[in-house]
Chains A and B, each alone.
Chain A
């Protein structure tokens, strides 16, 4: 949206005020920050401080300026076209309505500094979600999940983003181990209870030394009639090491990191695409 090549209406409007600041306290660089703007892109106030007091001050400043503007000064001359920002929709349209959507949370065992956890999402299409279970749903049945799916988890989701998003993921050749087994532990009416057990190891040495070697355990319940998971937990815990490109990790020493996958909700915020959805091959 900040890039000049993007000519979508939302990007053009954003670039009218991006990087402007009306408050300069503890600012971070670039276009990151908080902006109060009128619907026509008229800047009311802006700051990029993480201090909530500065944010409150900015909002008050914005509302004060808003009150001085005439209708013509604050609104677009005609209603915005809902289809004029389709670039943003491309990934959202891949949302697997009838599949499996997981919230992914990562946290260190021992807090290095604040913030110490981050959030992402993992998506599975309906056919992929079904491959998490054995073909025959009877107690004791075991099933090795498809290698492709476990590799996808290891490459794009078992990552150190605890302090901040790292704009890199593990390449194919970094995956040294990737195994996940599901076992049917109970079948009761329409509900099949599963356990998960597995391990992965991903490691690169160039351009940076970075890796993660977790053990995985989990449990889930699948509704056979509805063909969907009604409960899901997958927990990865293991040593991470190295520093990312921009994940704000300052200590490269090996340390334990945990990552939990649970069912996502269905609010708009819970439908945001995974960071590396474009690498899924969908």
Chain B
């Protein structure tokens, strides 16, 4: 059971469509450029916007909830979990 899962019970997804290319030129890591490198690597807020959706992290959790609430399920399935390592 190494694949897939994740889903949501609601709709509304915002996906980035275009992003200006970064021109990050720092070379090897030093104490002096530590903060620049850290900030370069960390996700921008818009990159994390999809995580604001209260996804259920397993398909079965959503099935249980959808059955109880009589709601449809939106399942996002990837090789690797869509919410982390895909």
* Given contact pairs A52-B13, A55-B13, A165-B86, A14 touches B41 in the complex (Cβ within 8 A): no
Contacts between chains A and B (CB distance < 8 A), count = 181
Q: Is the CB–CB distance between B5 and A1 below 8 Å?
A: yes
Q: How far is the CA of A76 from the CA of B53 in the complex (A)?
A: 26
B81 to chain A, nearest CB (A): 6
Q: A59-B11, A269-B84 are in contact. Are A105 and B67 (CB under 8 A)?
A: no
Which residues of A have CB within 8 Å of B80? Answer: 164-165, 275
The contact string, 1 if C-beta is below 8 Å from chain B, for chain A 254-273, is 00101110100001110110
Give the interface centre of B58, B63, B66, B74 by most chain A CB atoms within 10 Å. Answer: B63
Q: Which size class do A's interface residues fall under?
A: 35 or more
Find out whether the CB atom of A117 lies under 8 angstroms from the CB atom of B41: yes
Contacts of A52 in B (CB 8 A): 13-15, 17
How distant is the Cα of A18 from the Cα of B85 in the complex, in angstroms?
A: 21
CB of A109 within 8 A of CB of B84, answer no
User: B61 CB to closest chain A CB, in angstroms?
Assistant: 8
Instruction: Among A80, A262, A271, A274, point to the contact of B67 (Cβ < 8 A).
Output: A80
The answer to the question of A193 belonging to the interface, with a C-beta cut-off of 8 Å to chain B, is: no
Shortest CB-to-CB span from A234 to chain B, Å, is 10
Q: Mark A138-157, 1 if CB is under 8 A from B, else 0.
A: 00000000000000000000
Picked from B14, B72, B85, the residue with its CB within 8 Å of the CB of A118 is B85
> In B19-72, which residues have CB < 8 Å from any A CB?
19, 21-22, 24-29, 31, 34, 37-38, 40-43, 47, 51, 55-60, 63-64, 66-68, 70-72
B59 A260 Cβ-Cβ under 8 A: no
Distance to closest chain B CB from A94 (angstroms): 15
Nearest neighbor of A78 in chain B, beta-carbon distance: B67
Q: Does A128 have its Cβ within 8 Å of any Cβ on chain B?
A: no
Contact between A11 and B1, CB atoms less than 8 A apart: yes
Q: How many residues on B have C-beta within 8 angstroms of the other chain's C-beta atoms?
A: 55
A262 to B77, CA, bound (A): 26
> If A233-B38, A258-B37, A272-B83 touch, does A36 touch B57 (CB 8 Å cutoff)?
no
Could you tell me the distance in whole angstroms from the C-beta of A206 to the nearest C-beta in chain B?
24
Closest 5 A-B residue pairs measured CB to CB? A85-B60, A237-B29, A10-B60, A165-B80, A258-B41
List 10 additional contacts besides A36-B75, A74-B72, A119-B83; criterion CB under 8 Å.
Answer: A3-B1, A9-B60, A10-B63, A13-B59, A14-B75, A14-B77, A38-B72, A39-B67, A165-B86, A268-B56
Interface residues in chain A, defined as those with a beta carbon under 8 Å from any beta carbon in chain B: 1-3, 6, 8-11, 13-14, 18, 30-39, 44, 50, 52, 55, 59, 62-63, 66, 71, 74-76, 79-80, 82, 84-85, 87-88, 105-107, 109-111, 114, 117-121, 161, 164-165, 214-217, 233, 235-238, 256, 258-260, 262, 267-269, 271-272, 274-275
CB-defined A-B contacts under 8 Å, sample of 25: A9-B60, A10-B5, A11-B1, A13-B59, A32-B4, A34-B75, A35-B77, A37-B75, A38-B66, A39-B67, A39-B72, A50-B15, A59-B11, A62-B74, A63-B11, A63-B72, A109-B40, A117-B47, A119-B84, A235-B41, A258-B37, A259-B41, A272-B57, A272-B81, A275-B85
B residues neighboring A (CB under 8 Å):
1, 3-5, 11, 13-15, 17, 19, 21-22, 24-29, 31, 34, 37-38, 40-43, 47, 51, 55-60, 63-64, 66-68, 70-81, 83-86
